[in-house]
């Protein structure tokens, strides 16, 4: 089969670009929907920081294996070290945490709510990516039994 943008998962890449752009715009457009709460800013900062740490750790661990597409690179290896010992999809988790923190920063109820479709989208993308990883890396099934998708010990 010829390798194309579409069969590599290009629609996922386009979808995530559009979705994250909309998430950013929605929070800013519907800002100040609630009064500052004593814990709102510290929680936003904590989630944003965790998002950054998770994302950077994922990029570092993946190294040359990183791609925006859910299809693994032809010469890729399965990464199960670093942050990948804790969660299977730290880059997607990073973007979910960012979406929540962004809504909190702007005090946007709509923005915080928009984190739900962001989470659903990345859960679906992760499932598709896992199907592709299992096809390329038979050892992925065992790895997936031991490491949770997004939340250590939970999901």
pLDDT at 18: 98
**Residue 155: burial class (beta carbons within 10 Å; 0-12, 13-18, 19+):** exposed
Domain that holds residue 59: 38-146
Q: Does residue 72 form part of some domain? A: yes
pLDDT, one tens digit per residue, over 18-48 is 999 999 999 999 999 999 899 999 999 999 9
pLDDT at 2: 82
DSSP 79-126: --SGGGGT-S-HHHHHHHHHHHHHHHHTT-HHHHHHHHHHHHHHHHHH
Q: Does residue 114 form part of some domain? A: yes
Q: Does residue 5 form part of some domain? A: no
Nearest to 80 by CA among 131, 140, 136: 140
Q: Does residue 111 form part of some domain? A: yes
Looking at residue 77, which CATH number applies to its domain?
1.20.120.1630
Give percent of the chain with pLDDT exceeding 90. 95
pLDDT at 155: 94
Tokens 């859960």 found at: 123
pLDDT at 101: 98
pLDDT at 51: 98
Q: Does residue 32 form part of some domain? A: no
Number of domains in the chain: 1
Q: Does residue 11 form part of some domain? A: no
Q: Does residue 128 form part of some domain? A: yes
Q: Does residue 49 form part of some domain? A: yes
- Listed as ranges, residues in the chain with pLDDT below 50 are none
pLDDT at 55: 98
pLDDT at 141: 96
Reported pTM? 0.95
């Amino acid at each position: 089969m010829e390798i194309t943008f579409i069969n590599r998962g290009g629609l996922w890449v386009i979808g995530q670009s559009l979705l994250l752009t909309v998430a950013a715009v929605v929070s800013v457009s519907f800002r100040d929907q609630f009064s500052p709460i004593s814990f709102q800013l510290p929680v936003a900062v904590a989630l944003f920081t965790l998002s950054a740490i998770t994302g950077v750790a994922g990029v570092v661990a993946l190294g040359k294996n990183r791609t925006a597409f859910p299809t693994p690179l032809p010469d890729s290896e399965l990464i199960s070290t670093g942050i990948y010992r804790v969660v299977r999809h730290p880059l997607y988790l990073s973007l979910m945490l960012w979406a929540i923190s962004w809504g909190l920063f702007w005090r946007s109820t709509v923005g915080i709510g928009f984190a739900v479709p962001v989470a659903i989208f990345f859960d679906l993308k992760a499932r598709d990516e896992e199907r592709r990883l299992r096809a390329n890396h038979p050892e992925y099934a065992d790895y997936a039994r031991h490491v949770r998708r997004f939340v250590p010990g939970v999901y």
